[in-house]
Structure 1
Amino acid sequence: MPTICELLGIEYPIFQGAMARIATHKIAGAVSEAGGLGILGSGGWSADQLREEIRLTREITKKPFAVNLMLQMPNCDELAQVILDEKVKIVTTGAGSPKKYIPAFKEAGVKVIPVIASVRHAIKMQAAGVDAVVAEGQEAGGHIGQTSTMSLLPQIVDAVDIPVLGAGGVGDGRSLAAIYALGAQGVQVGTLFLSAEECPIPDSYKERLINAIDTDTIVTGRKAKDPVRSLKNPMLLKFAELEEANAPHEELEKLTLGSLSRAVYDGDMETGSAMAGEIAGMIKNIRPAKQIIEELFNEAEKKAASLKISY
């Protein structure tokens, strides 16, 4: 089995999470140029927007990068065609099965890597012919599954014969070393890259992240079977209260309508949905993406070398 770096032509086995409305050419290009895999988050974009983002990314880097397809989006067919037209060679997917797109992607030499949250889904994706999977635990920010990375990752590694990357709960070199100990070939990181200098979110979002503590995230939407992890704020605490009281869907939807845009574009940390993972409390400074990657792997190597297990 080739390593994920050999498979994709990247230097570091690290993917940048495809954070909705955030993962533009600015952060994706910086991560790829630094040796990782930058990923454009196409959710909510038109075909023309995706085409422009791909071209802008290529102005920043000549190295490999990927596009993420959120398979719930109604214009997925158009976005997939843009990926083929623009000759992007790596696609990650979320929120569904990419099976219908795999034949066309394979014919064009595109590597397909779904983000999954269960062993059952991993097995199905291997059977469908994907090249690797990202096993994401519920510690992650944004839309999550129900199993923690510590439990999920080794079960998926044991269940499939393709490269597996771990996601969720990686905030420093210690947690990266743990991901490797659980059998992964690499890691996908989202929340940590929110603190990158190149990440195009408002300063208020980054400041909220830096000031977060270990208990500062909240999961909403579990009752609707669409759980999302974000940084706590008055709006989300109100949502959780209404959700617990079995408020009508319309009332909950009214509360959150436009909340992601309010956080990402307006920097509204009171009524916006500022998605972030449980590692938010570990982030204490703003650094270039290149420095984040290099320090992450240097620390992981030192930690792995220092481990002495006795019994």
Structure 2
Amino acid sequence: METRVTKLLGIEYPIIQGGMAWVANANLAANVSKAGGIGFIGAANAPGEWVRSEIRKAREITDKPVGVNIMLLSEHIDEVAQVVVEEKVSVVSTGAGNPGKYMKMWKDAGIKVMPVVASVALAKLMERAGADMVIAEGMESGGHIGEQTTMTLVPQVADAVSIPVVAAGGIADARGFCAAFMLGAEAVQMGTRFVVAKESDVHQLYKDRIIAARDIDSVVTGRSTGHPVRSLRNEMTRQYLNMEKENVSFEELEHLTLGALRKAVVDGDVKMGTVMAGQIAGMVKKEQTCKEIITEIMDDAHKVFNSVKF
């Protein structure tokens, strides 16, 4: 399936794996790319040398393009921004800020840049700054979220910019894939479904919690701090929401969640850890290989498109 996104990224299918912190390592990213989509190593707050090591590990698994997701608030941002240039990474996605400071360096190095945006205004700003495409991410997604839904955000962004748009948030199967294209997207980004991929190295208890999730099991914490995060309900989210109601200090809230994502992903603490997952978790029912996930979506997408009658 050819779109402007597949042409720009040199991939077979317009399916992108989100660069999830603590989840998206070399193994997952490389296997998504190997299956015909494109995987992203999640740099999160890691130092530059860790990112370099993961890039090189990914290249031992596949010779297909693998990207790096860069969190612009990272304390190591300057060195990570330089590492992707030195390692000749073909594409970076960015989150938590404006990548304008690094845009010229990346573009001069031939790197494609695709920022995550949560508003039309930011999408326009990124286009003017030289972004090759934007990822319009709705609040259905897991992790840090904006305020608009995918259904409303994607078409407005697609109307506002001339560069390609990738839809993200609440997409896990062929129906979501097809809907994204109807809204004006030219590719989709998925996170939650790839968390439970067989090549994902997250703790089995984290995977099991997603697979067991119901439609109503995700919750948003942190609205009072201005940094809302979507994860699955557990003892930690219950305590956090109660503390928000009691107007406790920001420092107390931060202390509760300190290292909580690592607790869930690495240690399997799904009670007091942060089990980040999107609202679509209720539709994710089994572990599959990255190849099985992508093949299933593409095969079913053809059936969905062919079944539409006007």
Alignment of 1:255-270 (within 5 A): 255-270=256-271
Paired with 2:36 and 2:298, the residues of 1 have a C-alpha distance of 12
The answer as to whether partners of 2:27 and 2:200 remain within 8 angstroms in 1 is: yes
Paired position in structure 1 for 2:154: 153
Calculate the aligned-residue CA RMSD, in Å: 1.1
Paired with 1:240 and 1:300, the residues of 2 have a C-alpha distance of 39
Paired position in structure 1 for 2:284: 283
The answer as to whether partners of 1:218 and 1:231 remain within 8 angstroms in 2 is: yes
Residue 42 (structure 1) aligned with residue 51 (structure 2): no
Paired position in structure 2 for 1:21: 22
The answer as to whether partners of 2:100 and 2:129 remain within 8 angstroms in 1 is: yes
The answer as to whether partners of 2:45 and 2:75 remain within 8 angstroms in 1 is: no
Paired with 1:242 and 1:203, the residues of 2 have a C-alpha distance of 29
Paired position in structure 1 for 2:175: 174
Aligned to 2:88, the other structure's residue is in SS state: coil
Q: Deviations over 1:203-249 (max 9, x none)?
A: 10111111110000110111111111001101111101111221111
The answer as to whether partners of 1:205 and 1:263 remain within 8 angstroms in 2 is: yes
Paired with 1:255 and 1:58, the residues of 2 have a C-alpha distance of 37
Q: CA deviation at 1:21?
A: 0.8
TM-score, length basis structure 2:
0.98
Paired position in structure 2 for 1:199: 200
Q: CA deviation at 1:195?
A: 1.3
Paired position in structure 2 for 1:222: 223
Q: Deviations over 1:186-213 (max 9, x none)?
A: 1000001011000110110111111110
Residue 4 (structure 1) aligned with residue 5 (structure 2): yes
Q: Which amino acid aligns with 1:251?
A: E
Of all paired residues, the percent bearing the same amino acid is 50
Paired with 1:306 and 1:245, the residues of 2 have a C-alpha distance of 52
Aligned to 1:166, the other structure's residue is in SS state: strand
Q: Deviations over 1:26-85 (max 9, x none)?
A: 100100011111100001211111110000000000001101110001211100111111
Residue 113 (structure 1) aligned with residue 102 (structure 2): no
Paired with 1:297 and 1:115, the residues of 2 have a C-alpha distance of 24
Aligned to 1:126, the other structure's residue is in SS state: helix
Aligned to 1:296, the other structure's residue is in SS state: helix
The answer as to whether partners of 2:115 and 2:133 remain within 8 angstroms in 1 is: yes
Aligned to 2:116, the other structure's residue is in SS state: strand
Paired with 2:78 and 2:251, the residues of 1 have a C-alpha distance of 29
Q: Which amino acid aligns with 1:215?
A: I
Paired with 1:78 and 1:201, the residues of 2 have a C-alpha distance of 26
Paired with 2:248 and 2:37, the residues of 1 have a C-alpha distance of 43
Q: Deviations over 1:154-181 (max 9, x none)?
A: 0000000000010001121111111111
Paired with 1:93 and 1:230, the residues of 2 have a C-alpha distance of 21
The answer as to whether partners of 1:21 and 1:44 remain within 8 angstroms in 2 is: no
Q: Which amino acid aligns with 1:57?
A: A
Structure 2: 5+ residue stretches without partners: none
Paired position in structure 1 for 2:308: 307
Q: Which amino acid aligns with 1:306?
A: S
Aligned to 2:236, the other structure's residue is in SS state: helix
Q: Which amino acid aligns with 2:207?
A: K
Paired with 2:119 and 2:72, the residues of 1 have a C-alpha distance of 17
Q: Which amino acid aligns with 1:100?
A: K
Paired with 1:97 and 1:179, the residues of 2 have a C-alpha distance of 25
Q: CA deviation at 1:258?
A: 1.3
Aligned to 1:223, the other structure's residue is in SS state: helix
Paired position in structure 1 for 2:249: 248
- Runs of 4+ off more than 6 Å: none
Q: Which amino acid aligns with 1:56?
A: K
Paired position in structure 1 for 2:81: 80
The answer as to whether partners of 1:117 and 1:152 remain within 8 angstroms in 2 is: yes
Q: Which amino acid aligns with 2:200?
A: C
Q: Which amino acid aligns with 1:195?
A: V
Residue 98 (structure 1) aligned with residue 99 (structure 2): yes
Paired with 2:157 and 2:194, the residues of 1 have a C-alpha distance of 25
Structure 1: 5+ residue stretches without partners: none
Paired with 2:75 and 2:255, the residues of 1 have a C-alpha distance of 21
Paired position in structure 2 for 1:70: 71
Q: CA deviation at 1:250?
A: 1.8
Aligned to 1:15, the other structure's residue is in SS state: strand
Paired with 1:280 and 1:22, the residues of 2 have a C-alpha distance of 16
Q: Say how many residue pairs are matched.
A: 309
Paired with 1:24 and 1:249, the residues of 2 have a C-alpha distance of 31
Q: CA deviation at 1:143?
A: 0.6
The answer as to whether partners of 1:71 and 1:97 remain within 8 angstroms in 2 is: yes
